Structure 1
Amino acid sequence: MAEIFLFVLVPLVFLAGLAAYLPFVPVIAALRALALVMQILTGYGRTLVGVVYRRTPEFRTLPPYRPQDERVKAYRNYFFGPAFRDLRQLLTLARRSSVTTVGDSFRAVTSRQFVAPAHHRALTVPYGLTLHLGLCAGTVLALLPVGLLVVLHALLIALLAGGARLLAGTLRAVDRAVLGMKRLHTGMLCPHCFERVPYPAYDCPSPTCRRRHADIRPGTYGVWRRRCECGQRMPTLLILMSRDARLQAYCVHPHCGKPMNTDAGHMPEVVIPLIGGQAAGKTQLMAAMLLALEHAAAGGGPAITLADEESDAEYQVLREVLRMRGHTRATQKTLPRAHSFVLGAGRSQRLVHLFDTAGERFVDRDDTDALRYARAARTFVFVLDPMAVKAFWTALEPPPGPLLDHTLGSTVDPEEVFARSVQAVAAMGAPLSRSRLAVAISKTDLLAEHGLAPAHPGDSDGARTWLRQALGLHSLVQAMELNFREVRFFHTAAVANEETGVDGSVTRFVEWCLRG
């Protein structure tokens, strides 16, 4: 009887129970498969948050982009490298997490249902096989949503990276267009080396950092803002710099690297070289020009602001010398630095560079070749000292009284200075045929004191006639009119006093120079 119970009834009961269990196998397997899929997706989500947001060491498989390792000491924009690095890390960590989750699930079922079951194996083995079936199905099914998430993530990064590059390119194009509207399409003028700077370098605005960034325009290291290695953020475009938060610009040419005007790039630039022989009166005329603009601003004219400390300091000295009716010291033969000032307000602002060059440089061809700033000029000033012309001393008869001091005149023939200067400037590629020339006949006040000034010093045609007939400069006047699009002649007196300000001849002269 025991044998019948053991070998007949028990198997029949087991088979009957197994038959009753079989309809539930798909449901149990499906539920276990779904649970595994959710486990894998949850692990993927945790990995995604860890890689993209938390960024703790356990979620790092690739070395990060560090500012100290970059060519430019700044943090990369997320969509210019780090986003694709995160995607690679996510794929690696998600694969590891999924493999671990599946392996742990299989081992747990094997241990609980086969190796060390809590109940008889006759009950746990069918259930364990069902769970294994569900785990196999879940492993296969999880490939679809995980793969879809990875593809969507990759597509999103690709779209955003493409959008970031498109936005950066658009901002660069807008910036170039704005610079073109300011007639700066070839760059800004460095007041030290006279080369055009396509885009200046800028120091980090943090007072404790001052790392120099060679090209801050939108790109790898920022679209709207760049983040320096020190953590300080800085704008990536000139148009994003407010008036009170403009960064210090620096020349990018390796042989220079000196500071440029803070206003460089924010407004159109005007370059006016003063050409003339030694002691022709260029420096005094330049000081008188600045003083005339200062008086005009005080009377309601365009505002004037010296663009840098060096220009302001030198102007203060020249202004006092001019008011004392003294003589300025000779300009040093070293390459001149521009005397820069901002003229006007709002959209009418212009950054004006006046170049006062030592007269000796207009005699030696090797020296004139160094005056590269002339390439950017469209208005030139030729300072002509009539006392440097031989005919002045032979043809003009001074009235009775103190004789004119011969030593106050320039020792260089104006025709020689003009010929060498025009030849050098033309060789540099300056479009003289599209440029204007203001001829400033200097020391008119000195001539007037001795009765040698012309009758109508304020008339351009009269000044031209005086040069041709009284001084015999027919060839010089003709050469000027042949080389330049427009030539205007001015008798100028670079003198000033507290009551009347600058002589009116300088005011008319400055207005014409800045009109173009």
Structure 2
Amino acid sequence: MAAILIFVLVPLFYLAGLAAYLVVAPVVLALRALALVMELLWGYLQLMIGVLFRRTAEFRTMAPYRPQDEQVPAHRNYFYGPGSRDLRQLVTLARRSYARTVGDSFRAVTTGQFTAPPRSRAFTVPYGLTLYPALALGAVLVVPLLLVLPALHALVLGLLCAGARLIATTLRAADRALLWLKRLRTGMICPHCYEKVRYPAYDCPRTTCRRRHTDIRPGRYGIWRRRCACGQRMPTLLMLMGRQSRLQAYCTHAHCGKPMNTDAGHMPEVVVPLIGGRAAGKTQLMAAMLLALENSAANGGPALRLADDDSAGGYQVLREVLRMRGHTLGTQKALPRAHSFTLGAGRTERLVHLFDTAGERFVDRDETDALRYARAARTFVFVLDPMAVEEFWTRLEPAPDSLLDRTLASTVHPEEVFGRSVQAVAAMGAPVRQSRLAVAISKTDLLAEHGLCPDPSGDSGAARAWILDKLGLYSLVQAMELDFQEVRYFCTAAVADESAQVDPSISRFVEWCLRR
């Protein structure tokens, strides 16, 4: 009887239990499906954190990005490639994680409920039969979410990439507009090769790196800051470089690559070429101009600051020569480096380049390529040595005496120098007819010692009349006034006294040459 009860009641209880389980089975199915959905979403979140922030090896499906793999030694901006790369890695890892998680869940059910259950299969098999559709349901329900999340990621990334490109384009346009306002629309002049540089190259400011970056403007390698391959950050705009944080600029032309002035691009540039024959007095006149500006700055005039060490070193030598009333050595025939200085402050600040070229280059047709810098000039200085004109020795009254050292005269006639140099400058595209010309009659201090000096009052008409009447340079004066929009004549004495004060004629001359 007991056995009959066992064989009857146990199946009845079992069937009753199954019936009760069938009532709650939908809840179990829903909960397990939800658990799988949450597990897959949590896994996606973990992958996103790993790909975007941790960046360890297990979150990579591609070779790691290295800036040294590119020609530009800088890290790419995130929104110019690395962002889409991360999205591709995330999608790949999410697909693998989905397949692995769903597969592991089905295998765990098969093992735990069917092949190796921890208890009787009578209890585990029904539960397992519930879990299979639950896992299938969860795997299906999570697919739209796993598609929507990368799609939202791609949408946000696309908007950010578009915004980054818009900001970069706007910043580049603003930087370009500032260069236009500074009258640098065609670029900055290199003081070594005289070519225009649209945008200089800059070295990494870290002393242990010094990688050179050819274009640091906002774009692929940085919006506000560029990050060098060494990790050092650099400003991407000239307007972000304060006076103390300005980087050393370099010429971008392949045949040059030399350092430019640190102030290049930060202020308008003025180019003043000094034209004249050998020993006409160009170098001394240039030194006197700098000394006059220095004296003016000391007396409350526009501030003067030499732009580089070469200019400062050369000026100190010339300053001492002027103070001792000595004669400078002739300019070397090699291509000269500009003597550069900044003049003024604030909105009136300018970077001025004075070019002193060897006189031989003005008369040798094969050497006039040295005048390339003249293309950027709007004011020219022609140094006229009256002692180089034969009429000076024959027509002046009183006649020059034997005490006037004729070996100090230039060896080339002014008309020959002017004709060839202006022809070369015009052939290079310089707007000569829209430019000004300052004619500096040099060595008037020597002439004054012998009573031969023209009117020292600074009157341009008197100086012009002296050139015509005493030197007979009618054709030269006519050519100058035909070729240039405005011509002004000056009598200059490039000398300084013991207290480093220059002749007043130099101050008037400099004021006109650097007039805005």
Q: Could you say which TM-score interval applies, normalised by the shorter chain?
A: over 0.9
In the other structure, the counterpart of 1:279 is: 279
Pick closer, same or farther for the CA change 1:367–1:500 going to 2, 3 Å: closer
Q: SS in structure 2 opposite 1:272?
A: strand
Query: 1:346-376 CA deviation, whole Å, 9 max, x = no partner?
Result: 2211110000000110001111123210001
Look up the equivalent residue of 2:449 and give its one-letter code: E
Q: SS in structure 2 opposite 1:497?
A: coil
Pick closer, same or farther for the CA change 1:399–1:366 going to 2, 3 Å: closer
Gaps of 5+ in 1: none
Distance in 2, Cα, partners of 1:227 & 1:442: 53
Look up the equivalent residue of 1:325 and give its one-letter code: R
In the other structure, the counterpart of 1:205 is: 205
In 2, are the aligned partners of 1:457 and 1:490 still within 8 Å (CA)?
no
In the other structure, the counterpart of 1:458 is: 458
Look up the equivalent residue of 2:404 and give its one-letter code: L
Distance in 1, Cα, partners of 2:456 & 2:148: 89
The within-5 A match list for 1:89-488 is 89-398=89-398, 403-488=403-488
In 2, are the aligned partners of 1:383 and 1:442 still within 8 Å (CA)?
yes
Name the stretch that deviates more: 65-74 or 286-295: 65-74
In 2, are the aligned partners of 1:396 and 1:470 still within 8 Å (CA)?
yes
Q: SS in structure 2 opposite 1:92?
A: helix
Q: Root-mean-square deviation (CA), in Å?
A: 1.7
- TM-score (normalised: structure 1): 0.97
In 1, are the aligned partners of 2:277 and 2:410 still within 8 Å (CA)?
yes
In 2, are the aligned partners of 1:457 and 1:463 still within 8 Å (CA)?
no
Distance in 2, Cα, partners of 1:442 & 1:457: 15
In 2, are the aligned partners of 1:65 and 1:76 still within 8 Å (CA)?
no
In 1, are the aligned partners of 2:106 and 2:132 still within 8 Å (CA)?
yes
Distance in 2, Cα, partners of 1:118 & 1:5: 28
Pick closer, same or farther for the CA change 1:280–1:400 going to 2, 3 Å: closer
Distance in 2, Cα, partners of 1:163 & 1:179: 24
The within-5 A match list for 1:495-514 is 495-499=495-499, 501-514=501-514
- TM-score (normalised: structure 2): 0.97
Q: SS in structure 1 opposite 2:494?
A: coil
In 2, are the aligned partners of 1:190 and 1:196 still within 8 Å (CA)?
yes
- How far residue 30 of structure 1 moved from its aligned partner, in angstroms, is 0.8
Distance in 1, Cα, partners of 2:90 & 2:153: 10
Q: SS in structure 1 opposite 2:78?
A: coil
- How far residue 11 of structure 1 moved from its aligned partner, in angstroms, is 5.4
In 2, are the aligned partners of 1:432 and 1:484 still within 8 Å (CA)?
yes
- How far residue 230 of structure 1 moved from its aligned partner, in angstroms, is 1.6
In 1, are the aligned partners of 2:393 and 2:400 still within 8 Å (CA)?
no
- How far residue 479 of structure 1 moved from its aligned partner, in angstroms, is 1.0
Pick closer, same or farther for the CA change 1:12–1:499 going to 2, 3 Å: closer
- How far residue 398 of structure 1 moved from its aligned partner, in angstroms, is 2.5
Look up the equivalent residue of 2:510 and give its one-letter code: V
Quick one: percent identity of the two aligned structures?
A: 73
- How far residue 6 of structure 1 moved from its aligned partner, in angstroms, is 8.2
Distance in 2, Cα, partners of 1:434 & 1:424: 16
Look up the equivalent residue of 1:413 and give its one-letter code: H
- How far residue 122 of structure 1 moved from its aligned partner, in angstroms, is 2.8
In 2, are the aligned partners of 1:342 and 1:350 still within 8 Å (CA)?
yes
Query: 1:177-225 CA deviation, whole Å, 9 max, x = no partner?
Result: 1111101111110000000011111111111111111111111111111
In the other structure, the counterpart of 1:44 is: 44
- How far residue 123 of structure 1 moved from its aligned partner, in angstroms, is 2.5
Name the stretch that deviates more: 170-179 or 465-474: 465-474
Distance in 2, Cα, partners of 1:21 & 1:244: 79
Name the stretch that deviates more: 324-333 or 122-131: 122-131
Query: 1:273-329 CA deviation, whole Å, 9 max, x = no partner?
Result: 000011110000000000000000010001111111111111101010011111000
Look up the equivalent residue of 2:371 and give its one-letter code: L
Query: 1:43-79 CA deviation, whole Å, 9 max, x = no partner?
Result: 1111111111111111111112212211111111111
- How far residue 112 of structure 1 moved from its aligned partner, in angstroms, is 1.4
In the other structure, the counterpart of 1:63 is: 63
Look up the equivalent residue of 1:137 and give its one-letter code: L
Distance in 2, Cα, partners of 1:17 & 1:64: 57
In 1, are the aligned partners of 2:33 and 2:138 still within 8 Å (CA)?
yes
Look up the equivalent residue of 1:88 and give its one-letter code: R
